[in-house]
Amino acid sequence: MKLNISSEFRKIALINYTLPPEVVEKFLPEHTKIDFYNGECMISLVGFQVKKLKVAGVKVPLLKDFEKIDLQIYVKRFDGAKWRKGVVVINRIFDQPGVSTLTNTLFKTNYISLPATGTVKETQESLNVKYSWQYDEIDQNFWVRSNRLATPYDKDTEAAFLLDRTHGYIKADEDTYEYEMNHVDWHLFTVEEYSVDVDFSRQFDPALNLLNGQTPHSAILTEGSTVEIGENQLVTS
């Protein structure tokens, strides 16, 4: 049985930073390289709602819709003919204590189960999205406020660089796994304000201390869509 995943990813908020490439090199799976945007190495704090999740076409028993927070970097891998654009999720947070261990075993992932919530407030003029969680009983959160009009983005923009990713890569000890990601083109809301209150060094890795207090490079909010995620494939070259 193939462990393909289908789910709706909704209200996707990305807080994006630049940082020296040597900081993230230790997170790179073998056979991948950092994918630079205009010479910059980028990292994103991502929050989104996960709805109607199915594995191999079957809804997972007792698993409700949930919020997920990822910290991800942007990579590429040459498959012998072309470069594949992908992401590496350094850490994944969600509030599913009974599922995280099983998920990590089946999919070679690195989920951490922490108390996590998401709130969405909509008015006629604005959309407010906030993702919060607790680590060592310390609140962590980020939020984004935007207008209500979602529009397409150009293909030579930072948004395209961050969102148009066809593959994901997993570093599992000495092995590298690749999976495909497919979804329709997303439309963007215009972000008007955002805030971040996250201790990156404590939550994710001491090397990311430089992000604490750093002004983000940009913020993005998109409605999202259904996303199809393929089964992990071992990468050997």
Angstrom distance (rounded) from CA 167 to CA 164? 9
Task: Give the whole-angstrom CA distance, residue 77 versus residue 35.
Answer: 9
Task: Tell me if 58 sits within 8 A of 150, measured CB to CB.
Answer: no
- For 185-204, give one letter per residue: b (16+ CB within 10 A) or e: ebebbebeebebebebeebb
What was the pLDDT predicted at 57?
87
Torsion of CA 103, 104, 107, 111, to 10 degrees: 90
Q: Which domains does the chain have, with CATH numbers?
A: 5-235 (2.40.400.10)
pLDDT recorded at residue 32:
98
The answer to pTM > 0.85 is: yes
Output the tens digit of pLDDT for each of the chain's 237 residues: 466 889 999 999 999 999 999 999 999 999 999 999 999 999 999 999 999 989 888 887 767 899 999 999 999 999 999 999 999 999 999 887 666 665 656 556 777 879 999 999 999 999 999 999 999 889 999 999 999 999 999 999 999 999 999 999 999 989 999 999 999 999 999 999 999 999 999 999 999 999 998 999 999 999 999 999 999 999 999
Instruction: Give pLDDT, residue 103.
Output: 64
Name the burial class of residue 213, with classes exposed (0-12), middle (13-18) and buried (19+) by CB atoms within 10 angstroms of its CB.
exposed
pLDDT for 105 equals 62
